[in-house]
Amino acid sequence: MIELSRKKMIIYMACLVLIWGLCWPIYKFTLSYTPPLLYAGMRALIGGVLLSILCFPKRKSIRWSENWRIYCVSALFNTVLFFGLQTIGLMYLPGGLFSVIVYLQPVLIGIFAWIWLGETMSAIKVIGLVIGFLGVGAVSIGGISGQVSLLGLALAMITAISWTLGVIYVKKVSPKVDSLWLVALQSVLGGVVLTGMGLGAESWSDIVWNSTYVFGLVFGSTLGIPVAYILYFKLLNSGETSKVASSTFLVPLIAVLFGTSFLGEPFTLSLFIGLILIASSIYLVNRPKKSEPEYKHTTLQEKI
């Protein structure tokens, strides 16, 4: 496990939340000028290639023959399913409702990290995770409008589950692989698959190569995927998964605040309530340990 100082963890988390919070409005604008699968695939592929170039001097740490299954599984959950389903799902469901369901992920991570990783689980932590999800719901409620598609609901739920499984898997296998190469190769492999799917189902000529599209592509292929994932995995490998995940409740709040500040969207009562709930959630999940009872799930490996 990589030890990070509390100051570094706060800086990394602030940068991560800011990047992911900006992704929503930037991607929303960009998707007006590009088919979704091609955009998801290209930003993952370009980001993975750029990171691979930076990591090239450490290419011996890839150990492809030993770790290729890890790279492929991580690419499946963290790139193909997460980005692909997220992009398609937004076509069938209002963005506010979709984000509420996707950000069930920190709650799922808290549960799965307890079951599979043996992390401690207290009643206060459970309450904090639930409060955080309610806060996301309050923040996003203004965006819940229009018809609700059962297909869209299913895609949003599968997106949240895929993201959760991908994060838990990376946390479990992190001692076996180089974290930078893991991000690079999952992006390259997943980007190739998504781009291939886009070429088969969409038209390359539908891309409008204007400044908005280029900015969205550059943002996604530099900050949005490789930099954000490096920060996220560094945080995961330095502390409890559920604590790191709980802070991502701030992402939809940042997205909404960005819209309020720069796009003229209203600051509503639901947004204020969501802010209070999310702040309370992060405090409860990350507060210093006291004497409340904690429950540690014993993994099968520990029993053996």
In contact, 207 and 29? CB cutoff 8 Å: no
> Residue 21 is encoded by which pair of tokens?
């919070």
User: What angle separates helix 95-102 from helix 82-89, to the nearest 10 degrees?
Assistant: 150
Structure tokens at 200: 């088969």
Compute the Cα dihedral for 252, 114, 244, 131 and give only its sign.
Answer: positive
SS3 at position 105 = helix
Which of these, 72, 114, 121, 103, lies nearest to 247 by C-alpha position?
103
Give per-residue burial for 112-151: e unless 16+ CB within 10 Å, then b. bbbebbebebbebbbebbebbbbbbbbbbbbbbeeeebee
- For the chain, 304 residues long, give each residue's pLDDT as a single digit of tens: 555 677 888 888 889 988 988 887 788 788 889 999 999 999 999 999 999 999 999 999 999 999 999 999 999 999 999 988 887 877 776 655 666 677 777 777 777 777 777 777 677 877 877 887 787 777 666 555 555 577 877 888 898 889 889 988 988 888 899 989 999 999 999 999 999 999 999 999 999 999 999 999 999 999 998 899 888 888 877 766 666 766 777 777 776 677 666 656 566 777 678 768 777 776 676 665 554 455 555 443 444 3
Q: Is 63 left (phi over 0), alpha (psi -120 to 50) or beta?
A: left
Give pTM, 2 decimals: 0.77
